[in-house]
Amino acid sequence: MGRISLTILCVFAGLLKFNPTFAEESEILELTSPLGKVKGSFLETRLGKKIYCFRGIRYAEAPVGQKRFQPAEPVKAWTDVFDASVEGPVCPQPDVAIMSEDCLRLNIYSNELPTKDKNVKKPVIVYFHPGGFYGGSGKSDRQGPEYLLDKEVLLVTVNYRIGSLGFMSSGDSLLPGNLGLKDQVIALRWIKNNIASFGGDPDCVTISGYSAGSWSVSLHLVSPMSKGLFHRAISMSGTAYYQKPLPKDQKNLATKQAEILGCPTDTVGNMLICLNTKTAEEFANSLSQFCEWHGDPILVWTPVIEPEVNGVERFLPDDPVKLLKEGNFAQVPYMTGFNKDEFGSVILLPIAEAKKGNNSFFEDWNTNWDHIAPISFLYERDTPRSKEISRELNKFYNHDKPVSLQNLQGMAHLYCDAVIAYSVHRFVNLLATATDIPLYYYHFMYQGRYSHVLDPETNEPYGISHHDEMMYIFYMKKFPFFKKDDPEIPTVERMTSIWEHFAKTGEPIPKNNELFKNVTWERFTSDKKRYLEINKEFSLKNGLINTERMELWDSLFPLEQSPKQ
Ligand SMILES: *[C@@H]1O[C@H](CO)[C@@H](O)[C@H](O)[C@H]1NC(C)=O
Ligand SMILES: *[C@@H]1O[C@H](CO)[C@@H](O)[C@H](O)[C@H]1NC(C)=O
């Protein structure tokens, strides 16, 4: 690694030395990384520390032209100054301002930079954003560093290709798949080689992610490409070890994409030649056509098990469940969990429509359950087994009664379990059986004043929704910036402390800590199933979360066919 030099040129230095609020306008931040000079900008943490921000740094060459649908190439060194003082573009998706295929960018936030006289090595936290593998980005509007950077960590947020451009796969050498996940690996390699210049410790990297990002983390664990690139892992709300085995290709989606854009589908080669002539916008704007029933399935593209192709690195060479069971994975401390009401809010629209006299959701569910349930709840379709599963789910969650305004709570639970909770439950149990690495399980139950989902009738938060706990770790611009006496602050303090302590030590809660009222977060093991309930106060619980619901899913989706059925 090259000599690290740092220049902070204070334009009005005398005037502004100790006044970070004016920093943004008045100072120029320039840093020399092994690949070239980078220009940054400043933010300030909640408690008034300066944050050195480098946003939109290109970590891979733009995957455009003949490089579209190809694994990303690491960025080459540059000679002029890379302007990382503003956000970079986000990957193609509908309804965003600055979108480009040249989106393989990352944001770095550091609260201390190394100087000639002082080496700085903060634990690095890498965050892979949510968005169902078809939306989202690592930008600071949703991943603002202002809370977390009060702690002694360095944060990196990462864009990766999404939708067809990131996850189309044909199961053969033309399109082996997982491009978006391979982008993440290129980013992790970039971090390993370059993060020291920004004050990060390349030998202490925590990968974290939410939802699709959380799925990603759960696969980096078993990926041969990710080996040695991280030292701890955090999966929040979702894993790839869900009720459906990962497929070997998603040719059906490739064909659908080709049809949407008027391309031939006779061979993969012809399809790709035509798709290569289409614009990023055309891909982005096709997203809604992948929905099959209202907004479902919530998850369209998934990672795939890749075929062997000469000269191509495989992110996922085998079924991740098998890799886990064989012990073939990174033995690193792991923290995972989910929220009380994940995706339960999907029932709010049916309620609102029903109150206007439109019962179409209920009618669909009640007349077409066997068709809709496998779409919405992500399991096999059009088989006798599929019908059996649909019947069992209807019996358990809806008590075999028609869904209606009076019989709707089961649907909220079903969305929560099918889309998020069961995948986390299955993963944590598989992991506990496969290894004795430290494993920490949580259930997030804290209801603050704000939420991603408001009940339209009361304007109050609808439970604890998907993404809600992230507002206590990152400053999300759609919510107020929490201030000293706000009731959310103790949760901000605790959540950011957990992330810091876990990133530093592999344990989430410091011992004898007043902030946590001395609660001990015991590990989850196969014979001692413990989890932390995160509420206004924290408490250790014994057993499984929503036991009966999870037992049903375990019985409907056994990992091994039992000898007698
Ligand atoms: C009922 O609601 C659904 C979902 O909002 C909508 O697509 C449909 O057009 C509505 N039907 C009527 C008759 O208003
Ligand atoms: C936590 O432990 C410390 C040290 O043992 C003790 O002084 C303190 O009273 C405890 N706090 C609570 C809330 O139990």
Mean pLDDT of the chain: 94
* pLDDT value at 114 more than 80: yes
Paired sense of beta strands 5-10 and 27-33, if any: antiparallel
- The closest-lying atom of ligand 2 relative to the alpha carbon of residue 513 is 1
DSSP codes of every residue in 1-63: -PPPEEEEEETTHHHHTT-GGGHHHHEEEEEEETTEEEEEEEEE-TTS-EEEEEEEEE-B---
For residue 353 and ligand 1, the question of a CB distance below 6 A is answered with: yes
Which band of pLDDT confidence, cut at 50, 70 and 90, is reported for residue 5?
very low
Residue 484 per-residue DSSP state: T
Which ligand has the shortest distance to the CA of 350? 1
Cα–ligand 1 centroid distance for 163 (angstroms) = 27
* pLDDT value at 8 more than 60: no
For residue 360 and ligand 1, the question of a CB distance below 6 A is answered with: yes
Q: Is 499 helix (H, G, I), strand (E, B) or coil?
A: helix
Q: Is 469 a catalytic residue?
A: no
For residue 518 and ligand 2, the question of a CB distance below 6 A is answered with: yes
- The closest-lying atom of ligand 1 relative to the alpha carbon of residue 349 is 5
Which ligand has the shortest distance to the CA of 516? 2
Which band of pLDDT confidence, cut at 50, 70 and 90, is reported for residue 4?
very low
Cα–ligand 2 centroid distance for 146 (angstroms) = 30
* pLDDT value at 78 more than 80: yes
- pLDDT computed for residue 423 by the predictor: 98
Q: How many CB atoms lie within 10 A of CB 2?
A: 13
Residue 470 CA, distance from chain mean position:
11
Cα–ligand 1 centroid distance for 425 (angstroms) = 35
- pLDDT computed for residue 118 by the predictor: 95
Catalytic residue chosen out of the listed positions 33, 110, 211, 451: 211
Which ligand has the shortest distance to the CA of 348? 1
Percent of the chain with pLDDT over 90: 92
The closest residue, in CA terms, to atom 14 on ligand 1 is 358
Which pTM value belongs to this model? 0.94
Q: Would you mind telling me the total number of residues written for the chain in this entry?
A: 565
E strand segments, 373-463: 439-444
Q: State pLDDT tens for residues 200-240.
A: 999 999 999 999 999 999 999 999 999 999 999 999 999 99
Which band of pLDDT confidence, cut at 50, 70 and 90, is reported for residue 429?
very high
- The closest-lying atom of ligand 1 relative to the alpha carbon of residue 353 is 2
Q: State pLDDT tens for residues 490-519.
A: 999 999 999 999 999 999 998 768 999 999
Q: State pLDDT tens for residues 367-392.
A: 999 999 999 999 999 999 999 999 99
Cα–ligand 2 centroid distance for 538 (angstroms) = 15
User: Tokens 């892992």 map to which residue?
Assistant: 233
Tell me, letter by letter, the H, E, C secondary structure of 166-232. HHCCCCCCCCCCCHHHHHHHHHHHHHHHHHHHHCEEEEEEEEEEECHHHHHHHHHCCCHHHCCCCCE
- pLDDT computed for residue 542 by the predictor: 95
Our mutation pick for probing the ligand 2 site, out of 512, 520, 540, counting the most ligand atoms within 8 A of Cβ, is 512
Catalytic residue chosen out of the listed positions 231, 425, 443, 466: 466
Q: How many CB atoms lie within 10 A of CB 342?
A: 28
Q: How many CB atoms lie within 10 A of CB 18?
A: 4
- The closest-lying atom of ligand 2 relative to the alpha carbon of residue 518 is 1
Average pLDDT score over residue span 25-31: 81
Paired sense of beta strands 105-110 and 538-542, if any: unpaired
Cα-Cα-Cα-Cα dihedral of 401, 403, 407, 412, to 10°?
120
Average pLDDT score over residue span 531-545: 95
Average pLDDT score over residue span 462-476: 97
Contact partners, residue 65, CB within 8 Å, separation at least 6: 276
Residue at 467: amino acid letter: H
* pLDDT value at 560 more than 80: no
- pLDDT computed for residue 26 by the predictor: 60
- pLDDT computed for residue 347 by the predictor: 97
Contact partners, residue 385, CB within 8 Å, separation at least 6: none
Q: Is 501 a catalytic residue?
A: no
Give me the residue spans of the domains in the chain.
Answer: 90-332, 338-556
Q: Are 338 and 210 in contact (CB under 8 A)?
A: no
Cα–ligand 1 centroid distance for 357 (angstroms) = 10
The closest residue, in CA terms, to atom 4 on ligand 1 is 353
Q: Are 47 and 178 in contact (CB under 8 A)?
A: no
Cα–ligand 1 centroid distance for 359 (angstroms) = 8
For residue 319 and ligand 1, the question of a CB distance below 6 A is answered with: no
Which band of pLDDT confidence, cut at 50, 70 and 90, is reported for residue 150?
very high
The closest residue, in CA terms, to atom 9 on ligand 2 is 514
Angle, alpha carbons 409-412-418 (nearest 5°): 135
In the chain, how long is the greatest CA-to-CA distance? 80
Contact partners, residue 34, CB within 8 Å, separation at least 6: 1, 2, 77, 193, 194, 197
Terminus-to-terminus CA distance in the chain, angstroms?
A: 59
Which band of pLDDT confidence, cut at 50, 70 and 90, is reported for residue 181?
very high
Q: What are 443's strand-pairing partners?
A: 338, 533
Report the alpha-carbon distance of residue 323 to residue 501 in Å, rounded. Answer: 29
Average pLDDT score over residue span 85-90: 97
- Measured in degrees and rounded to the nearest 5, phi and psi for residue 541 equal -120, 160
Average pLDDT score over residue span 439-446: 98
Average pLDDT score over residue span 5-23: 35
Paired sense of beta strands 232-236 and 50-58, if any: unpaired
Q: What are 7's strand-pairing partners?
A: 30
Q: Is 33 a catalytic residue?
A: no
The closest residue, in CA terms, to atom 3 on ligand 2 is 512
Cα–ligand 2 centroid distance for 77 (angstroms) = 53
Which band of pLDDT confidence, cut at 50, 70 and 90, is reported for residue 75?
very high
- pLDDT computed for residue 474 by the predictor: 98
- pLDDT computed for residue 14 by the predictor: 31
Q: How many CB atoms lie within 10 A of CB 403?
A: 22
Which ligand has the shortest distance to the CA of 351? 1
- pLDDT computed for residue 341 by the predictor: 97
Are 90-332 and 338-556 equal in CATH topology? Answer: yes
User: Tokens 């031939």 map to which residue?
Assistant: 264
CATH for 90-332 (3.90.110.10, 3.90.950.10, 3.30.505.10, 3.40.50.1820): 3.40.50.1820
* pLDDT value at 564 more than 50: no
CATH 3.40.50.1820 fits 338-556, yes or no: yes
Q: Are 45 and 91 in contact (CB under 8 A)?
A: no
